[in-house]
Structure 1
Amino acid sequence: MDIADIATADYIEVPVDRRLGKVRSIFEQEHPKGIIVIEDGEYRGVITERQLLQSHVEDDAKAEALAKHAPKVSRTEDIRETARMLVEGNTKVAPVFEDGSLWGIVTEDLILEAVLDNLDALDVADIYSTNIVTVTESDTVGQVINRLRENGISRLPVLDDAGDLTGVVTVHDVVNVVIRDMSKATVGDRRGEVERVLDLPVYDMMSNPVETVTPTVSVEDAVRTMLAEDIGGVVVTDPDDDRRVDGVVTKTDVLRALTFTEEQQMDVQITNIDLLDTLSRAEIRERITAAADKYSDMQVQHAHVRFHKHNEKLRGTPLIQAQIRLRTNRGQVAGTGEGYGSDNAFHVAMDKLERNVLELKDIRADEEYEGQLLRKLNEL
C-alpha cells in the first residue's frame, strides 16, 4: 500500500500573512492535525498545535513566522517510509506532492487507520515509553508548558500527593485554556491575563477520567481507543493497580513501530534529524552497537534517538537534549544527556546508556545466580 491510497486533498490552508491569532482560533474551533501555509498558491510549510504552544511569537505575527518545512511525501511513497518521515520530522502531518505540485496531506491518523488490522501482532509492552514525565495536581500551567517544551512531549500524567493517577494534561488542553482566556482580554489587560493563566493549577484544566491500558493490551486495541477518543496517546498503568503509572504510549510510538525491521542490521530512527551536526546515522548505529555488545546476550531490534533543542546557547551553539531508547530482546533500555551541540549531547546520552546496559547485565547475572542457588537448595 502506498500513500496514494490514504492521502487526502481535504485540508486547511492559510496564507503566509495570516495572523497567528487567527491560526490559533482555527485550532480551537476545527482541531486540525496541522495547517498548510501557502504563498501565492505555493506550499511554504505547516503549522502544528505544538508549535503554537512552544512558540514565543505574538498573535500579531504572521503565519510565515512559524511555518515549518515538514518532509514532502510523494503520492507513490511507501507507508512504512512515510511513517519514518513523520517521526523523524517530528510532525503529525506532511504535504503530499504529485508531479511537483501540492496535492493534499497525509496525517498520522490516516496511516494508523490504514494499518489498524495489522497491529494486533504487537503488545503495548513492545513499544511504550517508560521514561515517565509527570506533574501534580497543584503544579501550574506555566510548569506544564515548561515540562512539555523541555521534554518535547505532548501529554503529562497528573498525580496526586500519593502518586496515584488522577488525570492527564495535554498540549491541546493548554492551547485551549490560553486561547479561551486570551480571547477575553483586551490588549491592555493581556500581560496580567497571561500571568494569571500561567499560575492556574493543573487540576483546573486536566482531563479526567483518563484513558488507560495495561502493557499486555494489543497495540491494535490501544490505537482503536486513541482514534475513537481523538487523543494522541494513552497512559499505561500497572496491571495490578490502575492508579500506578508505568508509562505512556502515543500514536508516534506506533508510527515508530511500523518502521521496525527484522533485518540483521539494527534499525536506527532519528527524530529531529535536522539538528545533527557532524554525526551520521552510520556513526550513531556503530556507537549503539558497541554499547549493546557489552552485554553479549542482548540483541537490539530497534534504536530510537531523539534530539531536542533548548533556547539556551553557548557561543552560538544551542543546548541540545539527546534521548536514546533501545528495543531489545532483554526489554527496553535508555539513556539521556544534554550538551551544546548534538554531537556532545549524543555522547553524554551514550555514556548514560552504556551504564544502564551494564547495570541491566549485572541485574540479569544476579537473577541467574539467585536462580542457581535456589535450584541447589531445592536439591538438598
Structure 2
Amino acid sequence: MDIADIATQEFVEVDADQRLSKVRSIFERENPKGVIVTDDGDYSGVITQQQLLQSHIEDDTKAGAMVKSAPKIERNADVRDVARMLVEGDTKVAPVFEAGDLWGIIDADAILRAVLDNLDVLTVDQIYTDNVVSITEDTHLGRVINLLRENSVSRLPVVNEDGQLTGMVTTHDIVDVAVRNMDKATQGDRAGDIERILDLPVYDEMSSPVSTIDLEDSVKDAVEMMFEYDYAGLVVTPEYDDSLVAGILTKTDVLRALTYTEEEHMDVQITNVEVLDTITRDDIRQSIEQVAEKYQEMSVQHAHVRFHQHREKLRGTPLIQCQIRLRTTHGQVAGSGEGYGAESAFRVALDKLERNVVQMKGMRSDEEYKGQLLRKLNEL
C-alpha cells in the first residue's frame, strides 16, 4: 500500500513569519491534522495542535519558533516505511512530497485506520510496553512533571496505597491545569501561583476512571478503543484483574510493531536519529548485539533506542537522555542513561541495559531452580 492511498491534500500552509495567534486560530476554525510551515516557500517543518496545547508561548511569537522537524515522505512510499519514519522522527504528522513539491500530509491515525483490519493478528501482550512508571495519588504535580521529563513519556498511571489503578495523568492534564491557573493570575501573582500548582496532588487533576485493555485482547480492539475515546494510549491490565497495571499500550507502540522485519541483523529502531553525532546506527546495532550474544538463551526480537535532547549543554555539546528497550524471547528489558552527546548517553544506557539483562537472567535461574525443587518434592 502506497502512502498516497491514505494521505490527504487537505492541509494548511503558513509562513515561518506568521504569528502563533494566527496558527491557533487555524486549529480552532479548521481543525487540521497539522500545519505545514514554510520559509520563503521552502519546507521548514510542522506544528501540531498538541505542541500548541503543551506550550505557553506568547501569541506574538513567530510560527518558525514552534516548528518541529518531521521527515519528508515521498508520495509513493510504502506504509511500513512511513510508520518507521514517523516513529524515528518522533512525530505523528509529516508532509508528503511528489517530485520535490509539497503534495499533502500524512498522520499516524490515518496509517492505523488503514491497517486496522490486519491488527487482529496481534495481541496486546506482543507489543505493549511493560516496566512503566506509576505514581501514587498523593504525588505532587512538580514530581509528576519531573517523571514525565526523565522518562520521556506523555502519561503516567496513578495507583492507590494498595497498588490498584485509580487514574491516569497526561502532559495534556498538566498543561491544562497550568494554563487554567495562569489565566486567573495577574502578572505579579504568577511566581507564587506556579509554586501552588506544583504542590497540588495528582489526585486533584488525574483522569478517573481509566479505560483499560487486557493483555490477551487483540491490538485491533485496543486501537478501536483509542479512536472511540480519542486516547493516545491505554493502560494494560492482566485478564484476571483490571485494577493492576501491567503496562501501557500507545499508538506509537502499534506503529512500531508495523515496522518489525525479518532481517538477517537485529531490527533496531531509533527515535530522534538526527541527534546522532559520533555514533552510527550500525554502531548501536552491533553494541546491542554484543550484549545479547553474551547470553545465548536470550534472542532479541526487536530493539528500540530513543534519544531525547535537553537544553543544557557542556562546551556546546547537548545533554542527551537515551533509553534502550529490547523485546526478547525472555520478555522485555530496558536501560537508560544521560550524557553529553548521543554516544556518551548511549554507552551509559547500554551499561545499565546489560546489568538489567544479568538481573533478569538471575531471576529466571531462581525460577528454574524453584521449579526443579518443586518437581523433586512432588516425587517424594
TM over 0.5: yes
The separation in 2 between residues aligned to 1:271 and 1:289, in whole angstroms, is 18
Matched with 1:66 is 66
Instruction: For residue 188 of structure 1, report the CA deviation from its aligned partner.
Output: 6.2
The 5-angstrom pairing of residues 139-154 of structure 1 reads 139-154=139-154
| Code of the aligned partner of 2:347 | H
Change (3 A) 1:28 1:259: same
Instruction: For residue 143 of structure 1, report the CA deviation from its aligned partner.
Output: 3.6
The separation in 2 between residues aligned to 1:58 and 1:25, in whole angstroms, is 14
Matched with 1:319 is 319
1:279 aligns with 2:260: no
Change (3 A) 1:137 1:379: closer
1:367 aligns with 2:356: no
Matched with 1:221 is 221
1:288-322, Cα deviation, whole Å (9 max, x unpaired): 11111121121111100011122322222222111
Instruction: For residue 198 of structure 1, report the CA deviation from its aligned partner.
Output: 4.5
The separation in 2 between residues aligned to 1:127 and 1:225, in whole angstroms, is 16
1:85-104, Cα deviation, whole Å (9 max, x unpaired): 00000001001111211111
| Code of the aligned partner of 2:94 | A
Q: TM-score, normalised by structure 1?
A: 0.90
The separation in 2 between residues aligned to 1:41 and 1:324, in whole angstroms, is 38
Conservation of the 8 A alpha-carbon contact between 2:54 and 2:172: no
For residue 245 of structure 2, give the secondary structure of its aligned residue in structure 1. strand
The separation in 1 between residues aligned to 2:304 and 2:293, in whole angstroms, is 17
Change (3 A) 1:163 1:220: same
| Code of the aligned partner of 2:4 | A
RMSD: 2.6
1:159-218, Cα deviation, whole Å (9 max, x unpaired): 234332221122333333444444555666655655555554433332222111121111
- Report the identity percentage: 64
The 5-angstrom pairing of residues 42-53 of structure 1 reads 42-52=42-52
| Code of the aligned partner of 2:5 | D
Conservation of the 8 A alpha-carbon contact between 2:56 and 2:179: no
Segment drifting more, 50-59 vs 370-379: 50-59
Conservation of the 8 A alpha-carbon contact between 2:140 and 2:202: yes
The separation in 1 between residues aligned to 2:328 and 2:16, in whole angstroms, is 45
The 5-angstrom pairing of residues 85-96 of structure 1 reads 85-96=85-96
The separation in 2 between residues aligned to 1:377 and 1:166, in whole angstroms, is 41
1:295 aligns with 2:330: no
Q: TM-score, normalised by structure 2?
A: 0.90
Matched with 2:338 is 338
The separation in 2 between residues aligned to 1:198 and 1:169, in whole angstroms, is 14
Matched with 1:173 is 173
The 5-angstrom pairing of residues 156-171 of structure 1 reads 156-171=156-171
The separation in 2 between residues aligned to 1:115 and 1:180, in whole angstroms, is 38
Conservation of the 8 A alpha-carbon contact between 2:11 and 2:33: no
1:305 aligns with 2:285: no
For residue 130 of structure 1, give the secondary structure of its aligned residue in structure 2. coil
1:321-365, Cα deviation, whole Å (9 max, x unpaired): 111111111111111112121111111111111112222222223
The separation in 1 between residues aligned to 2:260 and 2:266, in whole angstroms, is 9
Conservation of the 8 A alpha-carbon contact between 1:294 and 1:358: no
Number of aligned residue pairs: 380
For residue 130 of structure 2, give the secondary structure of its aligned residue in structure 1. coil
Change (3 A) 1:40 1:222: same
The separation in 1 between residues aligned to 2:230 and 2:258, in whole angstroms, is 20
Conservation of the 8 A alpha-carbon contact between 1:49 and 1:172: no
The 5-angstrom pairing of residues 65-144 of structure 1 reads 65-144=65-144
The separation in 1 between residues aligned to 2:128 and 2:97, in whole angstroms, is 32
